[in-house]
Structure 1
Amino acid sequence: MSTTTEHTNREADDRPAKFQVTVNRQAVTLTEHRMTGLEIKQAAKTQGAAVEVDFQLSVKRGQRYEVVGDDDTIAVHKGQEFIAVAPDDNS
């Protein structure tokens, strides 16, 4: 293999892989496979999803959703489905 090809392959390996998940049915592109709930909401908001960082995030696991706290780090993969809902105002 030539030095140029090896160099090009190493550069490609260093770039983060992009993959899509959905947050409130909107496609969100991520590059990390381990993220906190807060990071997922921030990525969604940055990409135009109707999500605020104080929303409660949940991830679909089978037929149910599990809450992901802001500080909880989870494994994230292509096609994963999240919902984020506004906190209730009980005042």
Structure 2
Amino acid sequence: MSTTSERQAPGHHGKPPVRIAVTVNDDPVILSEHRLSGAQIKSAAVEQGADLQIDFQLSVERGHHFDVVGDDEVITVHEHDKFVAVAADDNS
């Protein structure tokens, strides 16, 4: 499933497709669904030119800290969410 496709779910009756603006490593990324896995978020970011690789570890900002998002973990994405993806061996 592509996270960047402009499709409409059945029963939306002409409503515009969902467009959720987030950032991944300070790069703007548009997501088309509210519930996505970490792998889907990273894939969408890579497709849109964000500076990361698919095998990087993804985290989402929640208040004053970041929570790790696993590749298979599905989270609810909100407008203006901030994600950081770093190499698994990055000790910074």
Instruction: Measure, in 1, the Cα distance between the counterparts of 2:17 and 2:68.
Output: 27
Q: What is the deviation of 1:53?
A: 0.9
Instruction: Please name the residue that 1:10 is paired with.
Output: 13
Give the letter aligned to residue 47 of structure 2.
T
Instruction: Please name the residue that 2:68 is paired with.
Output: 67
Instruction: Please name the residue that 1:56 is paired with.
Output: 57
Q: Which runs of 5+ in 1 are unaligned?
A: 1-8
Q: RMSD of aligned C-alpha atoms?
A: 1.5
Instruction: Measure, in 2, the Cα distance between the counterparts of 1:32 and 1:16.
Output: 9
DSSP 3-state at the match of 2:13 = helix
Instruction: Please name the residue that 2:8 is paired with.
Output: none
DSSP 3-state at the match of 1:17 = coil
Following TM superposition, where does structure 1 have runs of at least 4 consecutive aligned residues deviating by more than 4 angstroms? Answer: none
Instruction: Measure, in 1, the Cα distance between the counterparts of 2:17 and 2:31.
Output: 9
Q: Percent identity?
A: 51
Instruction: Please name the residue that 1:86 is paired with.
Output: 87
Q: Which is greater in Rg?
A: 1
Instruction: Measure, in 1, the Cα distance between the counterparts of 2:13 and 2:88.
Output: 45
The structure carrying a bigger helix percent of its residues is 1
